[in-house]
Amino acid sequence: MVVSKIKTQAEIVDPEKTKPRAQLLLGGARMKKTTLLLCLGALVSLSHAQLSDPEEGEAEEHVDLFTTPTTKMAAATSDFGYNLFRQLAARDPQASVLLSPISISAALTQLSMGASTEAEKQLYRVLRYHTLHDSQLHDTLRDLLSAIRAPGKGLNSAARVCLEKRMRLKVGYFNEVEKQYGVRPKMLTGGARDLKEINEWVKQQTGSKVDRFLTTPIRRNIGVVPLGAAYFKGQWVTRFSQSGKRENFQVDGGAATQIPMMQQDSYPVKLGFDPDLGCTIAQVPMQGDISMIFFLPDDVTKNMSLIEESLTAEFVQDLSNQLHPVQVDLALPVLKLTYSTDLLPLLSDMGLSEWLAQTDLVKITAQAAKVNSVHHKVVMETAPEGSRYAGSATVSDGQTLPLIFHVNRPFVFLVRDEPSGALLFIGKVLNPRDLA
């Protein structure tokens, strides 16, 4: 059986050898149209032995992946998310992490509406908006947020800016944000009342799934606090017949831990192997045109960072186009993941240190304003339910060998909205218990 081999061409598109891989991919890398023979083997059932090259003289096809304002906006918010994820993963390489970047993009975009022209440019560069040239940027983002929150997609998210009342805030900013995004920035007075109101609002916006967003009262004179929260529980297109059986999850450098798994034979996925990254990749469809993409590295210690560095909106879109439909013996962890952190230090490392020192929020207040934290909390669940039974999908032509894809060791995953390409969630799971 033949499936697509995923391979980047950084050496062709960018001769600057000193640039990191992620930048090369962001610059427009394309996958080679090559093929990889997959054979049944241990664990992942992949053999890397036989490769066939493109026919001599075959031209490289160029495809403009993002052609509408919405897909371009989705690519920008996704690239911001991949950059943020890299920073978070690098902060502690031995820790599991989980993010919903779209909620942080929305909160920082709301904050940008109160910035001076120069401060807005600095924010836009980190948010990747400087590539869009979209005169209706806020309308485009609002439409994207509405699309990805549609019923059936499984995403509930919340984004808001909180501001200390003492700064003599300008009412016009509050009105503009509320008009554009349907949420009014919150005026902080300090103390337990703010804590209670913020937690209740986040809980309501996330369907009661993100609870206790803040765990300590907000102190007085706090300044500016953008916040983002999200909950995701999508429905698979194809259900799993077996669920809850505890199996070993191999922890890198440590003893295996027992976790509940869901498993199904003859499960339809899109599959491929990337020899450059040393990982097998499976895209599993969900209802509402959502998919989960799993990156399962052969060598966790060596290959996890390669995967992290390679992720861009363009790379993932190419990936989705090149993976091959097959049916596999699929086993995935049954997860309920929770993660909370302050993202402010990461923003400084991403190029906002100058802006954080002088925020210049002239449309919000005439006083000096300081961003004190960027709080983020997310919850995500996976369960075996689905609308279709396995075996009802058509097997890919030519498949004769049984294939196995068992996510029983550390992995990276994405949750992606397929129509827009927007990155909804991204995580690195070294041990599922870390995020329990």
Range from 55-64, 168-177, 357-366 carrying the lowest mean pLDDT: 55-64
Average pLDDT over residues 18-32: 30
Cβ contacts of 421 within 8 Å, gap of 6 or more: 65, 66, 71, 74, 75, 78, 313, 316, 317
For residue 222, what is the DSSP state? -
Round the average pLDDT of the chain to a whole number and report it.
84
Within this chain, do residues 135 and 39 fall inside the same structural domain, yes or no?
Answer: no
- Counted domains in the chain: 2
Asked if 180 and 214 sit in the same domain, the reply is yes
- Could you tell me if 223 and 182 lie in one domain? yes
Q: What is the pLDDT of residues 149-166, one digit of tens each?
A: 999 999 999 999 999 998
Give the residue from 360, 333, 372, 313 showing the smallest Cα distance to 128: 313
CB 97 within 8 A of CB 122: no
- Asked, for residue 82, whether it belongs to a domain, the answer is no
Residue 401 — very low, low, confident or very high, per pLDDT cuts 50/70/90? low
Residue 73: inside a domain, yes or no? no
Orientation angle between helical segments 101-112 and 117-127, nearest 10 degrees: 170
* 137 occurs within a structural domain: yes
Q: 122 and 209 share a domain?
A: yes
240 shares a domain with 142: no
Whether residue 60 is contained in a domain is answered as no
List, in order, residues 6 or more apart from 149 with CB less than 8 Å away: 155, 156, 157
* Same domain for 306 and 418: yes
Task: Tell whether 68 is covered by a domain.
Answer: no
Q: What is the pLDDT of residues 39-66, one digit of tens each?
A: 333 333 333 322 233 333 433 344 467 8
Q: What is the pLDDT of residue 20?
A: 32
The rounded distance, in Å, linking the Cα atoms of 363 and 2 is 58
| Residues belonging to the chain | 436
Q: How far apart are CA 32 and CA 14, in angstroms?
A: 15
Asked whether residue 80 is assigned to any structural domain, the reply reads: no
> Does position 36 have pLDDT exceeding 70, yes or no?
no
Is 200 contained in some domain? yes
Residues 30 and 159 placed together within one structural domain of the fold: no
244 and 211 both lie in a single domain? no
CATH number at residue 419: 2.30.39.10
- 424 and 369 belong to one structural domain: no
Cα–Cα dist 156/210, whole Å:
10
Positive/negative CA dihedral, 148, 152, 154, 155: positive
- Whether 319 and 3 have beta carbons less than 8 Å apart is answered as no
Judgement on whether residues 197 and 219 belong to the same structural domain of the protein: yes
Report percent pLDDT > 70 for the chain: 83
Same domain? For 225 and 251 the reply is no
Q: Are 188 and 337 in contact (CB under 8 A)?
A: no
Its domain, for residue 160, covers: 101-149+155-232+342-377
User: Could you tell me if 315 and 328 lie in one domain?
Assistant: yes
* CATH code assigned at 110: 3.30.497.10
Answer yes or no: is 6 within a domain: yes
Identify any residues that bridge with 279 across adjacent strands, giving them in sequence order. Answer: 274, 297
